[in-house]
Every structure is written in C-alpha cells, then in structure tokens.
Structure 1
Amino acid sequence: MPQQLRRRLGVFDAVVIGLGAMIGAGIFAALAPAAEAAGAGLLLGLGLAAVVAYCNATSSARLAARYPASGGTYVYGRERLGDFWGYLAGWGFVIGKTASCAAMALTVGTYLWPGQAHAVAVAAVVALTAVNYAGVQKSAWLTRAIVAVVLAVLAALVVATLASGEADAVRLNSGSEADFTGVLQAAGLLFFAFAGYARIATLGEEVRDPARTIPRAIPVALGITLVVYAVVAIAVLMVLGPERLADATAPMSDAARAADAEWLVPFVRVGAAVAALGSLLALILGVSRTTLAMARDRHLPHALAAVHPRYQVPHRAELAVCAVVAVLAATVDVREAIGFSSFGVLAYYAVANASAWTLTSAEGRPARIIPVVGLAGCLVLACALPPSSVVSGAAVLAVGAAAYGIRRALASRRTS
C-alpha cells in the first residue's frame, strides 16, 4: 500500500491556497493579453471565463468530495471514465501547469529585476520548492501572508485609481472594438487565472474532512477571486482603456501612474512579485501532487511516488517538478506560456466535467446543466486560444496519448 499524506488543512487553509493560486496569476499576468484579444470586450471575456470556471469548480468539488486523494481530475477520470482518460487529464495538467509555474516565476523576475528576469525566476522556483519540501502546513501559512499583502496592494490601487481625476467610465468601452472570437480568446486566456482552485482538489489527500471541506472551499475561493478581478479590471480600464492596457507590460504599475499615484508604484511592483510567488507556491504544490498520483500508477517513473518519512511530502516529485520548471523559467516567454498552459488545463477540466456527468444522485451529482456547460465551455475556449497555443497544446496531448498506447502495448506483450 502506498504511503499516504497527512490531513492537516481545514476550510480556511484550503480557501487561502486557492486564492494564492488565482489572484496572482490573473491580475498581474493575464489582463494585458486578454485585453489585446478582446479590446472593449475584456469584461465580457472575464464573465465568460467565470461561468466556465464555476461549472468546472462545481464538478470538481463534487468529485473531490467523493475521491479525496492526491491527483484531482487524474483520479476522477480514471475512476469514472477509465484509465486512459484519467491519464490524459493528468498529462494535460502536469504539462500545462508546469508552463504556468514558469510564467509565474518569470512574472516575479519581471517585476523585481527586469534585467535579470530569468535568473530571478529560477531562484524563486528553487526557494519555493524548499518551502514546499518542509511541509504543506508551512506552505499554507506562507500563502496566508502572501494573499493578505496582495489584497492590500490591490485595494490601495483601486481606491487611488477611482479617486483620481483620470478615471473615466467612457474608457471602459473605448478603443478597439470587441468581436466574438476575441472575447472567446480572452476568456480562454483569463481561464488561466481562474484555474487556481484546482489546487484545493489536488490536495484532497491532505485536507481534513474532505467531503465537507472541499465543496465549501472551492466556490468561496472562486467567488472572492471573481469579485477582486472584476473590481480591479474596471478600475484599470477606467484609467488606461483597452488599447493602453493591451500594450502594457506592467499594467498595474501603468494604472497607478495614469492615476497620478506614483507613490504607489513601488508597492504595486512588490505586490505583483508577491502575488506571483503565491501563485507559484500553490502551482508547485498542485503539480507535484498530480505527479505523485501518476507515479503511484506507474504512468510516470514509480520512484516519484516516494513520500518523505519526516516531512510527509512527495519530495522526489517536488524536486523533479523544480528541475523542469527551472529549465523552462530560464528559456520561455510569459505570454506564450499562458496560452499553452490554458490549453492543457482546459483539456483537464473537460475530463472533470465528463466525469461529473457520470455521478449518480446518491453520489452527489451536480445539476446536469453544470457539467454540460462546463464541458462545452472548455472545448470552445481551448479551440479559441491563439493558434500557436492550440497547435502546441494538441501536439503535447497527442504525444502523451501515444506514450500511453506504447506503454500498454509493451505491457500486453510481457503478459502474453
């Protein structure tokens, strides 16, 4: 029997881990490329992403309550749809979220030391892996502090922006015209930001009373994040407009300058770096736990299934994730990583919704419309992403599927 992780996290810790994963990613990394895609339709894209995320969150919460083990949709797909679909979900998650880790690490570097962004990114990955190695409870405490700092900075930015004479509601709809394709693409990119609630589900083996805790924590974290996103997006659009936001490399700092709040810029830069660190911390937690689950089933090297006897964490999986993310952080571009990550994670949640559809009423099935809308939304948003993201994401899924088929064929030959 594989070693089990210790259940230490309550509702509050689970909500905070979800917030740490979502708020940093969305506000400081995804708003600008989403504005470039949707123009004046940015807020429509945000709303559409929230609807799909809500359906995914509801499906995931019901499944996580029934299957409270590390791995999230990898486990749900395997149990409800079959081994292949669970494997494909896990593969999409690990690959997509590894790209997310690199994007968040680069966001830290861009805000703290633009001239050495890649070096700072690698250092951040190593440092946060060390925190995770020391135990999930320490990670939860650090995430609490990060979320508090980020919310304080964003609140100050919103107040300064709306109180300035530069805020103008006309800018919300000025500039480039919105089109349906652009709104869909923006929703797909913004979904990258909402997907942080998956961290709660993938930590299912470390949550106390998961049947009660997970269904409570996921919608609370998602609801708080949506309110924060909407308020900040409106405030930034009112001072920058869609076109200036689309061109911004540091949109929150640009918004503070446009609102004549230059004094706030250093705090925004620190807040952005802290937010990205919080997101990176939660991402490393989630990817390592899915890696652990796949290694237990030998879809990844079985050596990665080890749990540290003292710290009770999947230490080999965490070190492997650290090595891969560090290499990516030294080489990739932030905007490309966001699109690629969104494709992989949307594929992951498509499997989650299909799995939720198979639940019975006695198993806590959500209303039928929820997994239907969630599944359709995931497929539509994945196909609406930038072409390069769709092609690369589909290619990676195909490679994963081929590897699965080859492994099964070899296993059949050995047993025959």
Structure 2
Amino acid sequence: MTLYGLGVTVGAGIYVLAGATAAEAGAHAPISFIVAAIVVAFTALSYAELCIRYPVSGGEAAYVEAGFSRAWLTTGVGLSVALSGIVSAAAVSLGAAAYLGQFVALPQSVLVTFIVAAMGLIAFWGISQSVTTAAVITVIEILGLVFVIGWGMLLTDKQGVEFGEIFSPTSIEPWLGIGSASVLAFFAFVGFEDIANVAEEVKEPRQTMPRAILLTLVIATGLYLATMVTVLMAVPISRLSESSAPLMLVFESSDDRYEIAFGALAVVATVNGVLIQIIMASRIVYGLADRSFLPEIFARVSAKTRTPSIATFCVVFLILFLGQALPIAALAERTSQIVLFVFIAVNLSLLRIKRQPVARNYGFSVPKVVPLVGVATSVGMLVISIV
C-alpha cells in the first residue's frame, strides 16, 4: 500500500510539475512543497483514523455518510473524489506524453490516447495485477528520482541557483509566489488519500492503512525536497519553468545514454500515475453504486477479471476527453481545488464522528484539534488557489 500511494503521489507530482512550481516560486519552489506537506499532514492523520473505522471502497463517501448522514453530500463528495482522480490522470497523461515524445515522433493527442488506453486495460485486467504492476513501476520511478538527485549533485557545471538562495526569501514578494506555487505543489501530494479507496481489498486494513498513509507522506516529502533542490541548482530557472519534461534537463550535458535511460524511467513513472488514478476513480464509482448512491450498472463486476468493468470504462473515457481538452497546469489546479474541497468535508466528518459514542477501540485515534487544523489549512489553501 505504501508503494501504491507513492506510485500515484510521486509519479503525478515531481516528474510533471517541477517546472510549473519553479515558474511560480522561482528559486524558492522547495518551500512551496514544505507548505503543501504541512497542509496535507493534518488531513493525512484524519484519513489514518477514518481508514481503520471504515475500511471500505469509496472511503471519503463512507466517511461523509457516517459523519453527516446526507445522501446528497455523500454522493457529491464521492463523485468529487472520482473526478479529482480523473482530472489528475488527465494531467499526468500529458506529462507522460511529453516524456514519451522525446523518443516517439507522434502528436501529443495520439500519445495520450495510447497511454490512457493501455493503463485502462491493465486496470481492467485485475486488482492484483494492477497493484503489482504499480508497485514494480513505483520502485522504478523512485530509482529515477534517486538518479536525478545523484547526477545533479555530482555535476561540476551547475547552471542554476546557489543553495543559500533557496531557503532564504528576503521579502514579502517571494512569499506571494510561494503561496501560488504551493497549490501546484499540493497536487504533487495528491495520492495518499487514494489508499483509502482500496481498503476493502487490503489484508489487515486496520494495521496496514495508517502506516501506509503516513509513510507515503514522509517519503514523498523527502524525495520532493531533494529533487527540487537538485534541479534548481543544476538547471537555469528560465529553462526549467518552460519545460513540460523538466527533469530531463538535468541530463542535457551528459552522455546521450544517460539521458535516454532517464527518459525511459520518466515515461514509466508518469504512466504509473495514470494507472493508479484509474484504479482509484473506478473503485469510487463502484463503491457509490454498490451503496445505491449511483445507478446499479456502475456496480457491475466482470465475472472473469473481478474488476468494476463499466466504472473502469467510463473513467478511462473521461480521462481521454480531458487530456485532449485542457493544458496540464489547468488540470493540476482544478485537481487541487477538488481535493481541497474533499479534505474539508472529510475533516468535518471526523469532527462529527468524534462527537458520537465510541463503540469500540480502533487502535488509532487523533485528537480533535487535528481535523480542526485540517479544515483550517485546507480552507486557506483553497482560498489561495481561487484568489
């Protein structure tokens, strides 16, 4: 589950949006990742408790149902989660196509279609096969980031900023860019909450889920900071901010073999984010239909693969449509806003659930201040994203 969470978090984030965050925050882009991590941390703790209380598919919808008992709100939150996965997958498919385009001279629309269709077939194949594939690819994409960090640090001709400039904004103006970039950086952390949506298919969820959520957040934050610092020191910000395949720039002055090797790793890493979001979104749609919040047809499960076939097909179709219709930055920002709305609803649900009589000891519980701060930080980030 940690590999699953890292697969969608890391693949959907740093490989795709390193340049976009640098365009907003300049040399101080790593600080935006720290801000985003703080916002995510409180909600991650809320998810950790809710996961062991309600280990079911369609996690967020189940949490809101338990907290508010309002069918319209449950359905709205569930569909919002599915939509966030769909929009996120569309954004990542564009990043994957940009990396793949370094090797294959085909139009972006063709590459996006190929990537999404291939990942959709794997998701339809079966949950065991899908998660195993995602886990293997996750190891590859983490090795890719380690490769970037190691190579960038060893470069003798660094063309970026000095290390001292990165963490020392000297006026209020840089903080405006950091605030704006933190919304994009927040997108890079979208993924840990996906773990909640496969809880029904996990062994011993009450032990596994909280650990996986927190490990995903800690490891992803460390990787993001190390990678962003390395790239900013190695590559001029002007070039980094314009690139749709930003991490490739670290290898431009190297032997072609290393650039090709990393490009291949980047393609694998980014398509992984598409696969995991398809799995997540289809399980949300299935979970809502299984609880009669959506038409029964979406709860149909293939007799052969035991996967939600109709839900998976619809999710893949919507990803293809959005991937052709909107640019990557817009997709990432919309994803962040949808997820922040869901985070607010989930934290409020936990506050209401904690007011109910405790029927049993679930083994993990956070104080009420955690979801309260989770609401406040998510609202603050949502306001920044809109303004």
The reply on whether 1:356 has 2:343 as its aligned counterpart is no
Flag the structure with more relative contact order, 1 or 2, with Cα contacts below 8 A and sequence separation at least 6. Answer: 2
Does 1:240 find its partner at 2:211? no
1:335 aligned partner: 329
Q: Does 1:201 align with 2:188?
A: no
Distance in 2 between the 1:242 and 1:298 partners?
50
Contact 1:171–1:242 (CA under 8 A) maintained in structure 2: no
String of CA shifts for 1:149-179, please: whole Å, max 9, x gaps.
2122221221111111234425636999753
**1:41 and 2:36 equivalent?**
no
Indicate the residue corresponding to 2:258 in structure 1: 264
Whether the aligned pair in 1 keeps the contact of 2:28 and 2:165 (CA below 8 Å) is no
Distance 1:264 1:58 in 2: 40
Q: How does 1:377-388 map to 2 (within 5 A)?
A: 377-385=377-385
Q: In 1, distance between residues paired with 2:68 and 2:183?
A: 25
What letter corresponds to residue 337 of structure 1 in structure 2? L
1:92 to 80, 83, 86: 80
Say whether the 8 Å CA contact 2:84–2:339 is kept in structure 1: yes
Deviations 1:358-378 (A, max 9, x none): 343755431222212211111
Deviations 1:226-247 (A, max 9, x none): 1111111110111125444323
Provide the residue aligned with 2:91 in structure 1.
103
**Residue range with higher mean Cα deviation, 169-178 or 244-253:** 169-178
Comparing 39-48 with 209-218, greater Cα deviation is found at: 39-48
Once the 2 structures are TM-superposed, how far is the Cα of residue 203 of structure 1 from its aligned partner? Answer: 0.5
- Seq. identity, %: 25
1:231 aligns with 2:226: yes
Correspondent of 2:146 among 155, 159, 167: 155
Cα offsets for 1:177-212 (capped at 9, x unmatched):
753332222222111111111221010111111111
Deviation readout 1:37-93 (Å, 9 max, x if unpaired): 222331221111111111121111110111111002111011112323322221221
In the alignment, structure 1 residue 186 sits paired with structure 2 residue 173: no
C-alpha separation in 2, matches of 1:52 and 1:241: 29
CA deviation map 1:256-298 (0-9, x unaligned):
226x465422122222211111111110011001111222344
| Root-mean-square deviation over aligned CA pairs | 2.2
Query: TM-score, normalised to structure 2's length?
Result: 0.90
SS of 1:185 mapped into structure 2 = helix
Are residues 1:52 and 2:43 paired?
no
Cα separation, 1, equivalents of 2:314 and 2:244: 31
Matching of residue 81 in structure 1 with residue 68 in structure 2: yes
Counterpart of 1:127 in structure 2 is 118
Q: Give yes or no for the alignment of 1:172 onto 2:166.
A: yes
SS of match in other structure, 1:152 = helix
Q: Distance in 1 between matches of 2:120 and 2:377?
A: 33
C-alpha separation in 2, matches of 1:323 and 1:249: 24
CA apart distance, 1:144: 2.0
CA distance in 2, matches of 1:282, 1:171: 36
Within-5 A mapping of 1:316-327: 316-327=310-321
1: CA distance between counterparts of 2:349 and 2:386? 27
Q: Distance in 2 between matches of 1:308 and 1:212?
A: 30
Question: Is the CA contact (8 Å cut-off) linking 1:77 and 1:85 kept in structure 2?
Answer: yes
For 1:229 and 1:171, the matched residues in 2 are separated by: 18
Tell whether the 8 Å contact from 2:288 to 2:294 is kept in structure 1 after alignment.
yes
Structure 1 contact 158–231 (Cα < 8 Å) conserved: yes
Does the CA-based 8 Å contact 2:54-2:63 persist in structure 1? Answer: yes
Alpha-carbon separation, structure 1, partners of 2:335 and 2:164: 33
- Give the Cα–Cα distance (whole angstroms) in 1 for the partners of residues 178 and 255 of structure 2: 31
Q: What does residue range 139-154 of structure 1 map to in structure 2 within 5 Å?
A: 139-154=130-145
Alpha-carbon spacing, 1:241–1:102, altered in 2? closer, same or farther (3 Å): same
Gaps of 5+ in 2: none
Q: Secondary structure at the match of 1:385?
A: helix
Do the aligned residues in 2 keep the contact of 1:97 with 1:345 (CA within 8 Å)? Answer: no
Q: 1:261 to 1:198 in 2, by over 3 A?
A: farther
Q: 1: CA distance between counterparts of 2:293 and 2:23?
A: 38
Indicate if the aligned counterparts of 2:25 and 2:174 stay in contact, CA closer than 8 A. yes
How big is each residue's C-alpha offset from its partner over 1:360-402, in whole Å with a ceiling of 9 and x where there is no partner?
3755431222212211111111221265xxxxxxxxxxxxxxx
User: Does the 8 Å CA contact 1:85/1:351 hold for their aligned counterparts?
Assistant: no
Quote the residue 1:15 is aligned against.
2
Separation (CA, whole Å) in 2 of partners of 1:85 and 1:109: 36
- Point out where structure 1 has 5 or more consecutive residues left out of the alignment: 1-13, 388-416
Paired letter, 1:200: I
Matched, 1:136 2:131: no
Find the partner of 1:300 among 294, 300, 308. 294
Contact 1:236–1:255 (CA under 8 A) maintained in structure 2: yes
How many residues are matched? 373
In structure 2, the CA distance between the partners of 1:175 and 1:56, relative to structure 1 (3 Å rule), is closer
Aligned residue among 310, 313, 330 for 2:307 = 313
- The answer to whether the aligner puts 1:346 opposite 2:350 as a matched pair is no
Instruction: Look up the match of 2:15.
Output: 28
CA offset at residue 248 of structure 1?
2.6
Could you tell which deviates more after superposition, 271-280 or 108-117?
108-117
